[in-house]
Amino acid sequence: MSLSSLEKDDNGQPRFPGCSNIRDFEFISKLGEGTFGEVYKARSKKNNATVALKKILMHHEKEGFPITAIREIKLLKMLSHPNILHLKEMAVERSKGEGRKKPSLYMVTPYMEHDLSGLLENPTVQFTEPQIKCYLMQLIEGLRYIHAQNGILHRDMKAANLLISNGGILQIADFGLARPYDEPPPLPGKGGGEAKREYTGLVVTRWYRPPELLLGLRKYTTAVDMWGVGCVFGEMFKGKPLLIGNSDLNQAHLIFSLVGTPTEENMPGWSSLPGFENVKSFGFKRGNLHDEFKEQSPTAVSLLQELLKLDWRKRINAIDALKHPYFTTKPLPARPGEIPHFQDSHELDRKKFRNQQAPMPPVPGGGAADNTSNGGWASSGPRPDSRSRIPGAARGGRPNAPGMPGNPHRRGPFPPSQRDSGLPPRPPMSHSQWDGAQSSRTDGRDDTRRDRFNPNRGGGGGGGGGGGGRFSNHNVDSYVPNYGNSSENPSSGGADRRGSGRRDYRREPARRRSRSPGPR
């Protein structure tokens, strides 16, 4: 196709298929701000559709289009599933009168009213068990599609990357760290299987990072995403992230406190992994998962245990997880259309939620009062039965906050002043960032929160263990990527954009990035 044969836009610029001009959209508000993109709510002037526009940030213009964005676009274009965010098109923004300045690019996706992290933070929202089952099932459906049907690893499973519409549909988003998986897809009854090749270890946000990655396994599998599912599942019950580690070592400690310490029986081969030396002195722990989730049903705890298995080869895969009795035991999963509408809740709304008044008492019949201008229930569907509301899944503030009365598993209707102090911070950043980088985040989990972060507040368990090596017992990671190994150089790919250090690429020397092929 020649340029001259293309349709032209209002400025006489060629209009590529699948690519709009940013002026075709009216910006409404900012939804999110990640390391690699800013996300806005907008309306299409062409068809009035509400969309999300993710601006691809060109931190280092000279180096061209970021590899993470190329990967994300390529994968999202390839995938088509109700539980995977749909990339509708791209939009170009050409700045006027700025000479040869490169245009900005936006990914255009349907607008989703919530992300799971924002929804869990919304004090007016109370999850019911059918609702949790409904979201969890859709999450696993999405993963079965990418793992078993498309051979893709997501590698950044976390609540903030799970988008939820007011129609009750959950979609997996943020494929910036995803990659094709070069092994046979998972098979029924075979857990995660084993990988033959090595991949970069600098993936997955710390709180959702599985034990094998923390211990340095490079031949990892789709089971890394399933661990994240277990963390998200637990988070839906608790109303806050399940394992809030303040360093990689502390993360491992929290994991072992919950599911027990590794042995050659429950995690064969663990003593040969690079991180072994640093955790071997932790001392035996049986794991307190049953206690932590004693209010939940036996089938819920059973599925949680399957997802949070130390042995990645035996960790349940997406195909088998969908067949777990949890989904066929009463209360049954809600149908997406039955879930009530909630006030829009994104990561950036966290600040707003923290300033909100104490929540209204839940309206009869479950769910929560909607305090948006239309007031009350915006739901078109029936409200869930209040009897199916689950213990421990109550909403409104971080449990376990100092001085909090009542059940530690419960997100009770605490006054905002108390909630405010109790929010978990984002996973801490790398040492270099702690040394004074200014953050551009404005979402209430902004980096300034690190000043207030109490390293001993991570939900039980101290660092322990020896320093150095893969882990250290400081409040920062010693887990620094080795840029000497070019085949594994993660620096421009974003592998470390979060996770072990949330390294800020804007601060990486350009010469490192330019050689980088991104995370592998």
47: its two tokens? 């068809």
Among 24, 129, 141, 174, which residue interacts with ligand ATP (rule: CB under 6 A)?
Answer: 174
Options 20, 22, 25, 39; binder of ligand ATP; rule CB under 6 A: 39
| Tokens 């991570």, residue located | 458
Closest approach, Cβ 253 to ligand ATP, in A, equals 25
Q: Indicate which single residue of 32, 66, 239, 499 sits in contact with ligand ATP (rule: CB under 6 A).
A: 32
Options 176, 275, 392, 427; binder of ligand ATP; rule CB under 6 A = 176
Contact criterion met (CB below 8 Å) for 168 and 338: yes
| Residue 235 interacting with ligand ATP (CB under 6 A) | no
- Shorter beta-carbon distance to ligand ATP: residue 122 or 257: 122
The residue among 179 and 346 lying less far from ligand ATP, judged by its C-beta, is: 346
The whole-angstrom separation of Cα 208 and Cα 251 is: 9
3-state helix, strand, coil split of the chain in percent (to 5) is 30, 10, 60
56 and 65 Cβ atoms separated by less than 8 Å: yes
Q: Of 109, 200, 257, 379, which one interacts with ligand ATP (CB under 6 A)?
A: 109
Cα–Cα dist 335/138, whole Å: 10
Q: Which residue is nearest to ligand ATP (CB)?
A: 34
**372 residue type, one letter:** T
CB of 37 to ligand ATP, least distance (A): 4
* 309 labelled ligand-binding: no
Q: Distance between CA 154 and CA 162 in Å, rounded?
A: 12
Measure the CA dihedral 201/203/206/212, to 10°.
Answer: -40
**Inter-axis angle of helices 223-238 and 129-144, to 10 degrees?**
170
Cβ atoms of residues 148 and 181 within 8 Å: no
Is residue 35 part of the contact set for ligand ATP (CB under 6 A)? yes
Number of residues in contact with ligand ATP, rule: CB under 6 A? Answer: 26
Stretch of residues binding ligand ATP (CB under 6 A), selected from 74-82, 105-113, 130-138, 231-239: 105-113
Between 109 and 472, whose beta carbon lies closer to ligand ATP? 109
20, 22, 24, 36: which one contacts ligand ATP (CB under 6 A)? Answer: 36
> Rounded to whole angstroms, how far apart are CA atoms 139 and 137?
5
| Stretch of 30-38, 134-142, 239-247, 328-336 lying at the interface with ligand ATP (CB under 6 A) | 30-38
User: Which 342-361 positions form the footprint of ligand ATP (CB under 6 A)?
Assistant: 346-347
* Among positions 56, 136, 143, 163, the unique one binding ligand ATP when judged by CB under 6 A: 163
Closest CA to 468 of 275, 331, 313, 260: 275
Dist. CA 80–CA 15, nearest whole Å: 24
* Torsion angle defined by CA atoms of residues 423, 427, 431 and 435, in that order, rounded to the nearest 10 degrees: -40
Residue of 156, 174, 370, 447 marked active site: 156
Active site residue 443: no
Instruction: Give the whole-angstrom CA distance, residue 250 versus residue 474.
Output: 9
Contact 80, 196 (CB under 8 A): no
Nearer to ligand ATP, 30 or 280 (CB): 30
Cβ burial 321-350 (10 Å sphere, 16+ → b, else e): bbebebbeeebebbebebbbbbbbbbbbbb
Range in contact with ligand ATP (rule: CB under 6 A) among 107-115, 314-322, 353-361, 377-385: 107-115
Write the interaction track for ligand ATP spanning residues 51-80; mark x where CB under 6 A is met and - where it is not: -x-x--------------------------
DSSP conformational letter for 357? P
Residue of the chain from 161, 200, 343, 472 that contacts ligand ATP (CB under 6 A):
161
Write each residue from 293 to 322 as x if it is in contact with ligand ATP (CB under 6 A), else as -, in one continuous string: ------------------------------
Distance (Å, rounded) from C-alpha 249 to C-alpha 478? 9
Closest CB to ligand ATP among 115 and 496?
115
The token pair that represents 342 in the structure block: 């909630």
In whole angstroms, how close is the CB of 494 to ligand ATP at the nearest point? 8
Q: Which is nearer to ligand ATP, 88 or 280 (CB)?
A: 88
Q: Does 504 bind ligand ATP (CB under 6 A)?
A: no
* Binding status of residue 87 toward ligand ATP by CB under 6 A: no
CB-hemisphere CA count at 13 Å for 474?
12
Nearer to ligand ATP, 160 or 289 (CB): 160
Question: Can you say which residues are annotated as belonging to the binding site for ATP?
Answer: 54
- Name the residues annotated as catalytic: 156
- Give the residues lining the site for ligand ATP (CB under 6 A): 31-32, 34-37, 39, 52, 54, 85, 109-112, 115, 118, 160-161, 163, 173-174, 176, 346-347, 497-498
